[in-house]
Amino acid sequence: MTKQRLSKSQSNKIKRAIFQHERHKNSYFWDTPIQASHRRKAERENSYIVKFRLAGDDYEYSSSVTCSAKNYYYDGSFFLNDERRNVRLFKNLL
């Protein structure tokens, strides 16, 4: 199987998803913002979905960040054709 070449846009999406995952995977231990409005802003800025198609396969990364008064909660999910995988899926594409 030959490796399909990534477009610059796809490569940037993959790098952003990996960076987000590596940055937030231990975020439970971070201090949260004191004000609720700042917590909601952090949630909005760090929760998003990245989707692209490569060689007939659909790739997706979903980042969900929620902040309570005491903790950050992060769920980063990687999918290949709607099947949940781990971060290696995206790392192997680079």
Domain residues for the domain of 24 are: 8-91
In a domain, 12, yes or no: yes
The number of distinct structural domains making up the chain is 1
pLDDT recorded at residue 80: 94
In a domain, 29, yes or no: yes
Phi, psi dihedrals of residue 71, rounded to the nearest 5°: -135, 155
Prediction pTM value: 0.79
Checking if the pLDDT of 25 tops 50, the result is yes
Question: How high is the mean pLDDT of the chain?
Answer: 87
Q: What is the mean pLDDT of residues 11-38?
A: 87
Distance between first and last Cα of the chain: 16
Banded model confidence at residue 13, pLDDT cuts 50, 70, 90: confident
In a domain, 63, yes or no: yes
In a domain, 1, yes or no: no
